[in-house]
C-alpha cells in the first residue's frame, strides 16, 4: 500500500473512487447518484483542497481522502473539514481507510492544524480520536454525527461552515 499526495494525473482516478465508494450508499436517497466526487472536483477547482491523499495497492488507485478549510464558530483559521474519504468497494474492510486516516491525520498535525471536524459514523471515527463535542453543530445534521479531533487544548464550539463545494448536487 502506498499513500501519496494527489498529482494531476490522479484526478480522474480519484473521482472514480468516490463515485464507486458512494454509489448506493445508505446515506443517499434510493436511486440518487453520489455527489462526493463532485465535492472533490469543486474543492480542487476552487483551490480549496488543503490535503488530498491517494492510496494505491499494486499501482491501482483504491482510496482517497480530502481536507479543506472550515470555519468553526468564530474561528475561521486552523480548522479543517475531513471529507470525503472513499475506498473502492472491493478494498473496503481491508485496512485501507484506516491507513489513509492515520497518515492524513499525521500530515494535518504537521501542517499545524488546530484540529479536524467532520460529519460521519461515530463508531468508525472514534478509533482515531474523534468525538462529539458540546456546542459543536452542523446545520441540519444530528449532533451525534458531528465530530471533532482537536490537536490543541482548544475545543471547537459553534456551527461548522464548510466550503460551498459541499453544496454539490448531481444536477
- Model confidence over 37-81: pLDDT tens digits? 999 999 999 999 999 999 999 999 999 999 999 999 999 899 999
Cβ–Cβ < 8 Å for 101, 63: no
What's the rounded Cα separation, in Å, for the pair 59 and 125?
27
Average pLDDT of 27-35? 79
Give yes or no for residue 28 having a pLDDT over 80: no
User: CA nearest 87: which of 126, 55, 134?
Assistant: 55
pTM of the model: 0.94
**Mean pLDDT across the chain, nearest whole number?**
94
What does the pLDDT read at residue 171? 45
Q: Strand runs (DSSP E) across the chain, as ranges?
A: 2-5, 51-57, 60-69, 71-72, 79-87, 115-119, 136-137, 146-150, 158-161
DSSP helix/strand/coil, 109 = helix
Q: How confident is the model at residue 31 (pLDDT cuts 50, 70, 90)?
A: confident
* Neighbour-count burial of 168, counting CB atoms closer than 10 A to its CB (0-12 exposed, 13-18 middle, 19+ buried): middle
Give yes or no for residue 26 having a pLDDT over 90: no
Amino acid at each position: 500500500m502506498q499513500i501519496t499526495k494527489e498529482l494531476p494525473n490522479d484526478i480522474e482516478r480519484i473521482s472514480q473512487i468516490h463515485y464507486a465508494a458512494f454509489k448506493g450508499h445508505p446515506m443517499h436517497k434510493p436511486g440518487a447518484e453520489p455527489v462526493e466526487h463532485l465535492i472533490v472536483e469543486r474543492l480542487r477547482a476552487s483551490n480549496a483542497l488543503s490535503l488530498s491523499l491517494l492510496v494505491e495497492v499494486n499501482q491501482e488507485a483504491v482510496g482517497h481522502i480530502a481536507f479543506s478549510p472550515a470555519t468553526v464558530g468564530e474561528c475561521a483559521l486552523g480548522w479543517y473539514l475531513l471529507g470525503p474519504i472513499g475506498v473502492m468497494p472491493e478494498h473496503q474492510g481491508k485496512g485501507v481507510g484506516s491507513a489513509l486516516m492515520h497518515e492524513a491525520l499525521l500530515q494535518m498535525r504537521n501542517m499545524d492544524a488546530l484540529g479536524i471536524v467532520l460529519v460521519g459514523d461515530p463508531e468508525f471515527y472514534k478509533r482515531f480520536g474523534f468525538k462529539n463535542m458540546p456546542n459543536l453543530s452542523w446545520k441540519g445534521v444530528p449532533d451525534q454525527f458531528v465530530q471533532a479531533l482537536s490537536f490543541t487544548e482548544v475545543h471547537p464550539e459553534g456551527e461548522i461552515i464548510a466550503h460551498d463545494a459541499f453544496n454539490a448536487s448531481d444536477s
